[in-house]
Chain A
Amino acid sequence: MPGRKSIGRKLNYEWNFWFLWEYRALIFIGVLTTVGFAVGTTILGLMVGVVIGLGRLLGGTWLRLPLTGFVELFRCTPLLVQLVWLYYALPVLSGLQISAWVAATLALTFYASSFFAEIFRGGVTSIDAGQWDGARAIGMRRLQILRRIILPQAFRNMLPAIMNQSVMQLKNTSLVSTVAVADLLYQGSIITAATYRPLEVYTLVAVLYFLILFPLTRLSSQLEKWLVR
């Protein structure tokens, strides 16, 4: 081709977003799936994480050891590997067929719970030992002290980290597209395959993630300011 230069050539790409309107239903389902997975697994992960954190704080060695093992296993391996392993390897090993949705839910929940467990444990241990002394001195039991004295104070310390982890959790849901769960990213890849216009599609996908998360991060920084008062 005459005049062709491989470096610094201007791409004459014509942006056109209008065709995406046709795919609004697919995109809407993708957004719902992403938000649904994020909210659902964050809540499940919080619950499992609190139970694990409590076990590690109050349990004996026989309980602490396996829980620590669980937390470290899920903290120190990539979520994508966990997801793929749960979906492809676990059925082979156990003979139990699980759907992509179940595998995705399990992986996201366990992954989140391992981080939430650490946040919970860190929040509780950050409270001055004098608070335990003061509460024990008036005869309070361990669980009473946790519920009435330690957790209300620890929760303030934990909240920024919980919000941060929840934001990451929503972004992490994009990995479920690899096992064909119809989240926002997966729908994007479907639309791309049909239209061959990845630039517009993935730009829209990025904008949608941002539009979901930006208000959330604003809210969390407002919350932090309010808690510091």
Chain B
Amino acid sequence: MNKTIFQDVADGRPMIQVNQLKKSFGANQVLRGVSLEVERGSVTSLIGPSGSGKSTLLRCCNLLEIPDGGQIRFGQKTFDFSAPKTTLTDRMASAYRAETGMVFQNFNLFPHMSVLENVIEGLVTVRRMPINHARDIGCAQLQKVGLTDKQADYPARLSGGQKQRVAIARALAMSPEVLLLDEVTSSLDPELVDEVLGVIRQLATDGMTMILVTHEMSFAQNVCDKVIFMAEGVIVESGSPAEVFENSNHERTRQFLARYKRTNHAEVRS
């Protein structure tokens, strides 16, 4: 398979490097120069209040949004958006997206295809893999997320947690080098959250590089190697979970986390 974009960099640079990324929607500047690094095999979580630009940053990492400025380097491939006239063709962006997996808050499964067809769509249409080979991979991925028995069902018949696990299997089928997870448990009923987090935790154990936007603070604290706190389009601070969650020097971070603790305690009481 074509993995030229992600050939390991011999000089020990991190796998992903984002430098001074900027993105505006009209007059609204959502990212105001964001820089971060992601090591191969690490799990990074992006936390912060809504509107802070976390999801936009994640979507920029997958080129679902095209940044207005800054650079993104993945492996040996560099995209420079600061150049006066950046010509990023649909072909280039698509080839890049095929190698970076992404999972969405609202699953975005294809309702007119069965579970297995959803999972192998990228292999068949993008990679032009023979259907039998694709099915083998699809079944293996569905087994990984515990949905072997649902492969012939249509998405409408699945629970939210099952849908999200199918979406994860669909992303994994492309054997991406990095998995981007955008609030993947936010639209799930509380009792379904754990089955999805369990899958992600297993992926972390297997060494999958992941960046996730999340509101699950205890998950971020326990599973992630690195936590990035964003507010108003900039990174306020980043560090290990212990540094950010327990010893933050930043007032904004402490306020944000305190509010989370309060609401969590309120939920427990009620």
Contacts from A to B (Cβ < 8 Å):
130-131, 133-142, 144, 148-149, 152-153
Contact = CB atoms under 8 A, between A and B. Distances in A.
A139 B108 contact: no
B245 to A, nearest CB: 30
Contacts of A144: 125-126
A138 B179 CA distance: 11
Contacts of B94: 136, 139-141
Contacts of B95: 139
17 contacts: A134-B107, A134-B170, A137-B64, A137-B102, A137-B108, A138-B171, A139-B95, A139-B97, A139-B98, A139-B122, A141-B90, A141-B91, A142-B90, A144-B126, A149-B110, A152-B112, A153-B112
Nearest to B127: A139
B114 to A, nearest CB: 13
| Residue among A136, A139, A144, A152 with max Cβ neighbours from chain B (10 Å) | A139
A137 B97 contact: yes
A13 B141 CA distance: 80
A157 B104 CA distance: 25
Given A139-B95, A139-B174, A153 B102 contact: no
Q: By CB atoms of chain B within 10 A, which of A130, A138, A142, A153 has the most? A: A138
Interface string B125-156: 11000000000000000000000000000000
B126 A130 contact: no
Interface majority SS on A: helix, strand, loop or mixed? helix
A132 to B, nearest CB: 9
Contact of A134 (B90, B109, B112, B125): B109
A144 B126 CA distance: 9
Contacts of B97: 136-139
A136 B64 CA distance: 7
Nearest to B100: A137
A134 B111 CA distance: 11
Interface in B84-103: 90-91, 94-99, 101-102
A22 B126 CA distance: 64
A148 B112 CA distance: 10
Nearest to A58: B90
A144 B128 CA distance: 12
Contacts of A140: 94, 121-122, 125-126
B105 to A, nearest CB: 9
Contacts of B109: 134
**Ordered nearest first, which 5 A-B pairs have the shortest CB separation?**
A139-B98, A134-B108, A138-B122, A137-B102, A130-B108
Nearest to B99: A139
A144 B99 CA distance: 17
A137 B178 CA distance: 12
Nearest to A144: B125
Given A133-B108, A137-B97, 12 more contacts: A130-B106, A130-B107, A131-B108, A134-B109, A137-B62, A137-B102, A137-B108, A137-B171, A138-B170, A140-B125, A141-B91, A144-B125
Contact of B110 (A134, A139, A141, A142): A134
Nearest to A131: B108
B108 A153 contact: no
B236 to A, nearest CB: 27
Contact of A148 (B104, B111, B125, B174): B125
Contacts of A148: 121, 125
B121 A138 contact: yes
B158 to A, nearest CB: 15
A148 B125 CA distance: 9
Interface in B8-61: none
Nearest to B62: A137
Contact of A139 (B106, B107, B126): B126
B126 A134 contact: no
A131 B171 CA distance: 14
A33 B171 CA distance: 54
A149 to B, nearest CB: 6
B27 to A, nearest CB: 21
Nearest to A139: B98
Nearest to A138: B122
A129 to B, nearest CB: 9
Contacts of B108: 130-131, 133-134, 137
Nearest to A134: B108
B183 to A, nearest CB: 13
A183 to B, nearest CB: 40
